[in-house]
Amino acid sequence: MTDELPPTPEPSIFERMRTRLTPDGVPSDDRGRMRMVVDSLILHLHPTKIPDRTLRWTYTWGLGGLAAVLMMVLALTGVVLLNNYTPAAPQAYLDILELNSNVWFGELMRNLHHWSANLLIIVAVLHLIRVFITGAYRPPRELNWLLGMLMLILVLASNFTGYLLPWDQLAYWAITVGTSIISYLPIIGNWLTRLILGGPEVGPNTLLNFYSMHIALIPLAIFGIMSYHFWRVRKDGGLSIPKSLDESESGAEIKLERLTTIPNLVQKELIYAIAWVAALLIFAMLVPAPLESIANPDLSPNPAKAPWYFMGLQEMLLHFHPLVGAILIPGLVILGIFLLPFFDLNPRNVGVYFRSRRGRALTLLAAGIALIATPAWVLLDEYLLDWTGWLPSWPSLISNGLIPLLVITIPLILLDDWVRKSFQADTEERVLFIATFIFTAFIILTITGIFFRGPGMALYLPWNMPTH
């Protein structure tokens, strides 16, 4: 019996193209030329080969790619909205009504734009968290970490400026509350607020300013930085390589198998993008973007809340002096995040989720402590603590600002010292512990502001929730 010949492997896309090349090396048919252009574009964004480990779904979760897809959806839907919108009050509100009622697929485009913008904030934050907990911000990727933080700030600014454009009650008063936070900046706060608003309060000039920033300045900055961000990923050697705890602890060199980008990566990216666009379409068809009555400067809703992504800051203003709650604490946290790659330099655990087994335990511990301590602080400050009343002769910046800040900072320092001594935690594990605690606390404050603050920003608890 003769041995069967092994099956002939299917030729790659490049081999199939070469069989139809002219003597000059150009594909002889239109289909081949189109493929060459598409492949060249793909290989301009990606290397020709990638480590097989970076294709693992559970390592990156595709968050960076999803953010890029959402930016493209926002750009395309934004063009449709741009052609059916006038940035002038009250015509802006009337245009939104017209868009929802009489423009083909107009309401769908607005819903897609609105929900994609909100999802982009969540995806960008999750992407930065993934980079942080895998240590992928360390050299040589520190510049990309800074670019990512800058893009997150621009995404927040884009959402904030776009929030006002429908010119309804929800948008008008949310922007009024949100811009009031800027006024707490020392020295330049009032000047900067008037510059952004185009006057002393939210009005037609504000709408025009926000429209200009939303459709031109901010998108150009985001797409420019995003392009450089992608280039830096390749420049820095691609994605960080996922590693197991055993591989990290042994320190052994990892042998990597490299796969071609086409089709291994491209197919996954295409399926992932199509699935998310389909999910967004379904959601946008079922859930309309919010729209209330036309903006009325003389009728303030109760409570007047900032956009949901700034509710954590608004909640802190209820517990601290504005200079401390809106400027000092957020400023120190943002500065710490920017400086993170420059004092957490250990490259050994890059690619390992939560650094180590001890790091995983400390992350759970930090989240658990924050889940208990943060609501307890909110309740105590709401019902029992009265720093200004106890120290009436002291300046409010001290009695209601620096003293409460010390009250929460000193236990945090003692907690860090306890973790260092009791768990023998190193610097990177302590950074992970503190960062997890702060982030969890901020999420709880945001949820509290969104769901548990009622008229007068009073705290609503399950036993005093309104029944209507």
What pLDDT, in 10s, does the model give residues 379-413? 998 888 776 666 777 888 888 889 889 989 999 99
Instruction: List, for the chain, all residue ranges whose pLDDT scores fall below the cut of 70.
Output: 1-30, 32-33, 36-39, 246, 249-252, 344-345, 387-390, 461-468
| Distance (Å, whole) CA 129 – CA 123 | 10
Convert the pLDDT of each residue in 105-156 to its tens digit.
999 999 999 999 999 999 999 999 999 999 999 888 999 999 999 999 999 9
Rg (CA), the chain: 26
CB distance 111 to 287 below 8 Å = yes
The secondary structure of residue 50, as a DSSP letter, is E
Structural domains present in the chain: 1-45 (no CATH), 46-464 (1.20.810.10)
Q: Which two tokens stand for residue 290?
A: 């919010």
Strands 49-51 and 258-260: antiparallel
- Residue-wise DSSP of 272-303: HHHHHHHHHHHHHHHSPPP--SBP-TT---SS
The predicted structure's pLDDT at residue 1: 47
Residue 124, number of CB atoms within 10 A of its CB: 23
* Nearest Cα to Cα of residue 266 among 68, 48, 59: 48
The DSSP annotation for 112-181 comes to HHHHHHHHHHHHHHHHHHHHHHTTTTSTTSHHHHHHHHHHHHHHHHHHHHHHTTT-BHHHHHHHHHHHHH
Segment holding 49, helix H or strand E: strand 49-51
**Mean of the per-residue pLDDT values for the chain?**
87
Q: Rounded to whole angstroms, how far apart are CA atoms 84 and 192? A: 31
Residue 468 confidence (pLDDT) = 47
Tell me, what's the pLDDT at 20?
Answer: 57
pTM for this entry = 0.89
Q: How many beta carbons lie within 10 A of that of residue 23, not counting itself?
A: 6
Give per-residue pLDDT as tens, 189-212: 899 999 999 999 999 999 999 999
Report residue 234: phi and psi, to 5°.
-70, -40
